[in-house]
Amino acid sequence: MRDHFGARSSLTGVMILLYGLGFATSFTIGRWADGLGKERVRTAVLAELVPALAGVPLVTERTALLVICLVPWGVLHSLAVTLLSTLLSECSERHRGTVLAFYSLASNPTVALGAALLAPLFTSHGFTAVGWACAAITPLAFGPSAWMYLRDKRPRSAISPPTRRRSKGDDTC
């Protein structure tokens, strides 16, 4: 069934499907991230998302390249979201529910706000402009992630004076 958007609507559906297939991979590659270190993988994923977000809009007129790019974009996005929620849930055994509730409280309205703010950009300038905007915003997450990863790589004495050993159930973040 064709709607008033015609073939464009069909391509959009295929794009969403391919992106979704990539996004659905986080459960299969989560063990890989665990083995390499969640912080390291999160930092690398955020760094790789910037060129992915900037590159996908550049190939929208080349269907074959677009198809090839959408699945990895979904994979990277899925990993970023999954790793962030996993790392947050590991911060505090005692406060896990509260931490995840605040994460949802922050992320869900942010997604809605982002869609609302980028809708006029999409309407006036198309998908390419939205991709560039998202690529420009992503370093805001990459910067703190890279800093935290590098901070954790320093010897503990360079970060803070020795403290008491933590027992199970203490906050770890």
d(CA 46, CA 146): 9
DSSP 56-74: HHHTTT-HHHHHHHHHHHH
Give the pLDDT confidence score for residue 120 in this predicted structure: 92
Structure-model confidence comparison of residues 24 and 124, the more confident one: 124
Give yes or no for a contact between 78 and 23, defined as CB atoms under 8 angstroms apart: yes
Say what the pLDDT of residue 135 is: 82
Q: What is the pLDDT of residues 47-60, one digit of tens each?
A: 888 888 778 778 87
Q: How does pLDDT run across 148-171, given as a tens digit for each residue?
A: 777 777 665 555 554 545 555 555
Q: Which alpha helices (DSSP H) does the chain contain, by range?
A: 7-23, 26-36, 38-58, 63-89, 96-125, 127-137, 139-153, 156-159
111 pLDDT higher than 50: yes
Report how far residue 16's alpha carbon sits from residue 8's, in angstroms, rounded to the nearest whole number. 12
In whole angstroms, what is the distance from residue 161 CA to residue 37 CA?
Answer: 25
For the segment 94-118, the average pLDDT, to the nearest whole number, is 85
Q: Please report where in the chains the tokens 């805001």 appear, as a residue.
A: 140
